[in-house]
Structure 1
């Protein structure tokens, strides 16, 4: 009996030792800082919601972004990214619909119903009503201002600010990134990615139709009456005009050797003597006055003699209306390179661009308002 008791005691001690060692081994395998309890193991891991904006800034966002406000012309890209339903504040320039900003016309009922929290300037000095912004407490602010201004606003009011950058650009990494970043921030990436994918298709289509044409076989083109620092007549032009570049057309003003908008003398236009002229019909009064004062000069120009004077809506106003610039590029293609674009129906193309970018058939609205891509008669 004594031997049996000693045997039972020895077995019990061995079992207790094995149990203790197993417990220690399990404890060593438990991740540091977590309690080895069933309740703790069920806690979800914390996820950070970060986006890297167009300036390379890492912005920390709420887990779920339901509301957004805009500064500068950020609302334009909110529409492109399909997030307009999340807007709770825009700028004072956007609360009234304007054909110069098609996105405000396409979504007029929405924009007119929203409060404004800044003056809306895209490049010039802007002012933001931070007190009202704070009272609305949007989850995120989409801003087209500089990286420094995005930082300053974010630090001042404690609301994340996502920056976008796109001035005077159509098919560029800045434009693509800005649309994608807004979609990522607002949770509309599927829509934003689809828009970018379609834009890249248009970019390839426009380029491929004319890329193989030798420069000596291309007509020369001039863009006139563009607006910058006020309305301009024939002499207001663009160097490196994006819609012309998209179809590999020859822009006579490129010989100036700079980028952006400039004003040239009529004598310079006479020296260039372009085959085609694309003019901003919004400045028709100025052009008619110029024509009346210099009729002999203008009548001697090739474009006037051939009737190759065309209008296309300006695509830059307080930022770049990317959808309008794309339509302008296709219109140039239809006009300057008719053979290469003969398989396309112009109206169908314009409708597709506007519906993709703005979510509506804005082309019909344009025509109803007397705006279109068409031939001009300055003398009339």
Structure 2
């Protein structure tokens, strides 16, 4: 009888162990949460994801994912990059200019999240960060195919989706084990935006010159009629933007409207140099544009493009300070735009890269443009 009970006990114990083992397999990877090796987080797509407690190897995919990890000082963890990061023209992105070793890492497949699961598995990351996947099911499918936890994030922005930006930085920081740095980055953003607003909030509209920005990049370079009605630097600076009431995120403005607005100061996005005709060439050669007050008075200035594989927040802030020195010289008399840009880049990406980017890719960066 004792012998029978003994064997029954052994069989019962083995059954329990089998159940525990089988129940520990979720999404293609083993659940070690009970022994303290992993933990469960809720990502931006409301997915429960089991992640290692100690993350050492990471890949990022989707527009801006690698930028966020750079902001969080995590570039030493990256073991593979999307194919676009290997192109020479991508060195215009500050995070790559500051961390050129990233462009030498193995490719994990095509960009915009069109990566190759097999290539991802070859570099053996602990985590895949995916910014703005089409759906949660896409993130689940990649996780299932690779057996690697996929943390889905929303990129967000400074205006409509600021909460998404902050939450994604905090979530990424939590996963990589650096929860202080996200708060530093968020505070940095807040302080700069508040500073820009405080310098200009009390200036009456009657004392503000009218402004317009043309040649704004959007999924590639454009000519002069491409603008952004709620161009963030203008918003931060409370500027008198003639296109603001158009009510769209991006707009292709008619020539007639621009002539009718006749802005007193014009800014041009430097990405326009990459298309033909460029915004600057149009201002030089088109009789209608040559009659604009800003062109006649020599009030045309160049800023850096901030849209390159999603929003480059450092460049956006750097542009804001430069524009401030043009629109409100008294309120920004303590600002050297080049030095301010480097201060911003050094904090966010680890190196003062303004001169390298502006000289190599944008024909001099912040400057007055001669179009007469």
Structure 2 residue 146 is the aligned partner of structure 1 residue 188: no
The answer to whether the aligner puts 1:144 opposite 2:131 as a matched pair is yes
Residue in 1 that maps onto 2:153: 164
- 1:326 corresponds, among 317, 331, 335, to 317
- Aligned pair count? 329
Moved more, 47-56 or 271-280: 47-56
Instruction: Give the secondary-structure state (helix, strand or coil) at the position aligned to 2:79.
Output: strand
Change (3 A) 1:150 1:277: farther
1:130 is aligned to 117
Q: For residue 366 of structure 2, what is the aligned residue in structure 1?
A: 373
Does the aligned pair in 1 maintain the 2:211–2:241 contact within 8 Å? yes
Give the whole-Å Cα distance in 1 for the aligned partners of 2:305 and 2:318. Answer: 11
Does the CA contact (< 8 Å) of 1:82 and 1:183 recur in 2? no
Summarize the alignment of residues 336-351 of structure 1 with structure 2, pairs less than 5 Å apart. 336-351=327-342
Residue 50 of structure 2 is aligned with which of 42, 60, 70?
A: 60
Which residue, out of 205, 209, 213, partners 1:223?
A: 213
Look up the SS of the partner of 2:50 in the other structure: strand
How far, CA to CA, are the matches of 1:252 and 1:55 in structure 2? 38
- Quote the residue 2:295 is aligned against: 304
1:28 maps to none
Indicate conservation of the 8 Å contact 1:168/1:242, yes or no: no
Matched, 1:114 2:77: no
Superposed displacement of residue 47, structure 1: 7.2
Q: What are structure 1's unaligned runs of at least 5 residues? A: 1-43
Displacement of 1:319 = 0.8
Preserved CA contact (<8 Å) 2:270 2:365: no
Aligned in 2, Cα 1:273/1:56: closer, same or farther, shift over 3 Å? farther
Identify which of 64, 71, 75 aligns with 2:61. 71
Q: Give the ranges of 4+ consecutive aligned residues of structure 1 lying more than 6 Å apart after TM superposition.
A: none
Matches of 2:370 and 2:45 in 1, distance apart? Answer: 44
What is the CA-CA distance between 1:235 and the residue it aligns to?
A: 0.4
Aligned-pair distance for 1:325? Answer: 0.7
* Whole-angstrom distance in 1 between the partners of 2:60 and 2:182: 17
Of 180, 204, 210, 1:214 maps to: 204
Contact 2:156 2:164 in 1 (8 A): no
Change (3 A) 1:77 1:345: same
1:283 paired with 2:272, answer yes
| Separation (CA, whole Å) in 1 of partners of 2:320 and 2:352 | 18
Report if aligned partners of 1:60, 1:160 keep a CA contact under 8 Å in 2.
yes
Structure showing greater radius of gyration is 1
Shift of 1:365: 1.7
SS at match of 2:364: coil
Pairing 1:154–2:154 present: no
Displacement of 1:273 in angstroms is 1.2
Give the aligned partner of residue 96 of structure 2.
104
Q: Within 5 A, what are the aligned runs for 1:190-269?
A: 190-259=180-249, 261-269=250-258
Instruction: Tell me the CA shift for residue 366 of structure 1.
Output: 2.6
Q: CA deviation at 1:326?
A: 0.9
Change (3 A) 1:201 1:51: farther
Q: TM-score, normalised by structure 1?
A: 0.80
Take 1:45 and 1:279, find their aligned partners in 2: how far apart are those partners? 57
Secondary structure of the structure 1 residue equivalent to 2:41:
strand
TM-score (norm. length: structure 2): 0.81
**Long gaps (5+) in structure 2:** 1-33
- Tell me the CA shift for residue 52 of structure 1: 3.4
Q: Are 1:169 and 1:320, in contact at CA under 8 Å, matched by a contact in 2?
A: no
